[in-house]
Structure 1
Amino acid sequence: MAIDHEMFRAAVHRRRFLAGTAALGAGVAAGALPRYARADSPPMLVTSIRSLSNPYHAVWKVGADAFAKQTGLAHVTLVTEGNSEKGISDINAMIAKTNGHMVLNVDPNNTPDARPIVEACAKAGVYVVTWWNKPADLHPWNFNPHYISHIEFDGASSGAYIADELFKAMGNEGGFVAIGGIISDSASIDRRRGMLAALKKNPNISLLDWQTADWQSQKAFDIMSSWLTRFGPKIKGVWAANDDMGTGALEALRSQGLAGQVPVVGIDGIKAAVEAVKAGEFVCTVTSDPYWQGGIGLSMGLEASQGKFDPAKEPRIDREFNATTVKITRANVDTYIKTEVDSHPQIDWTNLWNRVASPISYS
């Protein structure tokens, strides 16, 4: 499809200075927040994610808290626990509580959730950044200036990459099983599409079964345990749409003494998966750096609210894009653990667009 020439502009590195603001403290419970009345007071920083029991989102919160600490602003994390109605309701309650004097960094629970969230934010004057899930016809530039950006990662590419690496580890033959995320989640859809594309190129590889585990480790463990009973030694590899499910499958393999014998792949770069790569139990994983995600979306909202840039004047490539990812294999896992797992790198949160990789393609 035709794409605006703006979409191909290289990402511009911005260096902005975050002005000091009055410290409000962090980690305040939503129910204890005072109503914000003064327009000249600092905005509340608000994060909305699925669950803190998910290692990926747990690291996201760590990044958000780190950004809040650096800026001295209050930060509240809302969790949906996989309930779309709760997620939308909690955000609306926070908008009311703050009189709209907040910025929001949100990973909508499901694709349809993004529209009512964005509409509520635009109506209240809240600057918002969405991740992963939104309808294809919902665009930031249709809600200027408050819908700043929507950010994803090329799920089809990542899904195909880990499939290719899995097939190599299987000797390019045999059967494998695949575990998907929430069926309506765009990341789950794209990663599965990439896996199927890789499968088409490997006629000696067969997909024994595909089931969804809703991004959850325990569900993946149960599914994998059933597969081991059903398929036994026919299973030569395990493809998982995220690491939490991949590590759940790995636990099932461990229970049968098969860890390291049946290769596993996943996506997210969570600590357990990275350690499994080092141990030879995972072939690879791909990280989108949830620590960076947690802070950069809040930084975009804060800078826009402070008038440091006008989202409406940004090129479209900066407002709807795939961000960069990092592939983690045995070749670079030691370095990755040292620099990204054992400690968190210093991130310039004011460099808003340095990880723009490509436009999002809607097929």
Structure 2
Amino acid sequence: MSAKDNHSGVSRRDFIKLGAGAAFAVAGSALPGFSSGADQTTLACSFRSLTNPYYTSFNKGAQNFAKSAGLPYVPLTTEGSSEKGIADIRALLQKTGGNLVLNVDPNDSADARVIVEACQKAGAFVTTIWNKPKELHPWDVNPNYVAHLSYDGVEYGEATATELFKSMGGKGGIVALGGIFSNVPAIERKAGLDAALKKFPNIQLLDFQVADWNSQKAFPIMQAWMTRFNSKVKGVWAANDDMALGAIEALRAEGLAGQIPVTGMDGTSPGLSAIKSGELVASVDWDPYWLGGIGLSMGLEAKQKKIDVATLSKDKRESFCKATFVTKANVQDVIKRAADPTVDWNTLYARVAGPVVYR
């Protein structure tokens, strides 16, 4: 078999790479070799893994901002472990003496409180992405907890489900892949799916399982579903592109890739390619490149006292940001933008869509 199927938007080699433990994925955690001048602020991002295209783009955005600021940058990966994520951040806080600006996507929601408190104690500045407890707010930890950035998962979970159901003619059975149970975006996106199901009574949810945002976990789940439900499966909803791609590979093994509609979210490069080829119906581009850098930019401006976060409106402290719903109609434009991203890191709030809504 060739490395890339002629009918595939994602090469089998690339799919395998998504789950491979790339050596550089944990390179940012090698703190013993890290050094920074005592008077120089260190920038850092903490996120799940560099084997996921979403976080690869997130990290590139952070690197670009760090280069523009002329400051050292350290990527930290949790590899799905809250303990590792928190320990690495604490180690970096100690090594920098708290002279740190951190942009963090906590592995679990509860991790955010521990991380924020550690940063506050050390005098560091932190922005959280996606995950945090509802009762934890940046304005309660001034000035160190700069902002929380997220997107309306319910809205977009429903939007992708609706697009999927329409592509199925409004009837038939679907299977659904969710993220980590304790992740806020996973919970919200599932709520969006549930909302769409209520509006389409002729769509039947055959089964819902979590695959931890991971294509390699989604692949065997989809294989088992095809054995269990066979021709009853008329569509696949996935809470992110990576899991959607795992499902597509399982469908490809059955000769059904591109025939059974699949939706994802994240707007990753492989996901966009799959939309272009017709194997993925829809996705949502959160622009992780922008997220990776803008969280650092907000934190650095707060640290340098260019902004006084205590005086900002709450929608600028806890923000739902603007996203792009992607289908075949606009995928080429999104691909073009992703290939050559241009961001004004000084424009902090242009993409604020409104305050975070807790449902």
Matches within 5 A, 1:167-316: 167-316=165-314
Q: Name 1:31's counterpart in structure 2.
A: 32
Q: Name 1:346's counterpart in structure 2.
A: 342
Matches within 5 A, 1:316-331: 316-331=314-329
Matches within 5 A, 1:140-159: 140-159=138-157
Q: Which amino acid aligns with 1:30?
A: L
SS in 1 for 2:204: strand
Task: Work out whether 1:361 is the aligned partner of 2:348.
Answer: no
- Of residues 158, 161, 174, the one that matches 2:159 is 161
Shift of 1:361: 1.5
Q: Which amino acid aligns with 2:320?
A: N
Q: Which amino acid aligns with 1:362?
A: Y
Shift of 1:36: 4.7
Rounded Cα–Cα distance in structure 1 between residues aligned with 2:191 and 2:61? 30
Shift of 1:344: 2.5
Shift of 1:28: 9.9
Rounded Cα–Cα distance in structure 2 between residues aligned with 1:298 and 1:286? 23
Q: Name 2:68's counterpart in structure 1.
A: 70
Superimposed CA distance per residue, residues 87-124 of structure 1 (whole angstroms, 9 cap, x where no aligned partner): 01110110000000010000000010000100011111
SS in 2 for 1:246: helix
Shift of 1:287: 1.0
Gaps of 5+ in 1: 1-26
Q: Name 2:7's counterpart in structure 1.
A: none
Contact 2:36 2:96 in 1 (8 A): yes
Superimposed CA distance per residue, residues 95-154 of structure 1 (whole angstroms, 9 cap, x where no aligned partner): 000000010000000010000100011111111000111111000011001100011100
Sequence identity percentage: 55
Contact 2:130 2:149 in 1 (8 A): yes
Contact 2:29 2:88 in 1 (8 A): no
Shift of 1:35: 6.0
Matches within 5 A, 1:50-69: 50-69=48-67
Shift of 1:337: 1.5
SS in 2 for 1:282: coil
Contact 1:172 1:204 in 2 (8 A): yes
In structure 2, relative to structure 1, the CA distance for the partners of 1:312 and 1:215 (3 Å cut) is same
SS in 1 for 2:236: strand
Contact 2:157 2:193 in 1 (8 A): yes
Gaps of 5+ in 2: 1-27
Shift of 1:247: 0.4
Please provide the CA RMSD for this pair. 1.2
Shift of 1:32: 1.7
Rounded Cα–Cα distance in structure 2 between residues aligned with 1:35 and 1:334? 41
Rounded Cα–Cα distance in structure 2 between residues aligned with 1:300 and 1:275? 32
Q: Name 1:104's counterpart in structure 2.
A: 102
Q: Name 1:9's counterpart in structure 2.
A: none
Shift of 1:232: 0.6
SS in 2 for 1:119: helix
Contact 1:35 1:99 in 2 (8 A): no
Shift of 1:278: 0.8
Rounded Cα–Cα distance in structure 1 between residues aligned with 2:85 and 2:341? 30
Shift of 1:362: 1.5
Rounded Cα–Cα distance in structure 2 between residues aligned with 1:350 and 1:192? 34
Q: Name 1:18's counterpart in structure 2.
A: none
Contact 2:42 2:99 in 1 (8 A): yes
Consecutive aligned runs of 4 or more in structure 1 exceeding 2 Å deviation: 27-30, 33-37
Report the TM-score, using the length of structure 1 for normalisation. 0.90
Contact 2:29 2:77 in 1 (8 A): no
In structure 2, relative to structure 1, the CA distance for the partners of 1:263 and 1:31 (3 Å cut) is same
Q: Name 1:94's counterpart in structure 2.
A: 92
Superimposed CA distance per residue, residues 3-37 of structure 1 (whole angstroms, 9 cap, x where no aligned partner): xxxxxxxxxxxxxxxxxxxxxxxx79522223653
Superimposed CA distance per residue, residues 310-353 of structure 1 (whole angstroms, 9 cap, x where no aligned partner): 1111111100011010011111111221222xx23210000001
Task: Work out whether 1:43 is the aligned partner of 2:41.
Answer: yes
SS in 1 for 2:66: helix
Contact 1:36 1:101 in 2 (8 A): no
Number of corresponding residues: 332
Q: Which amino acid aligns with 2:166?
A: K
Q: Which amino acid aligns with 2:158?
A: A
Contact 2:29 2:76 in 1 (8 A): no
SS in 2 for 1:211: strand
Rounded Cα–Cα distance in structure 2 between residues aligned with 1:344 and 1:29? 30
Q: Which amino acid aligns with 2:135?
A: D
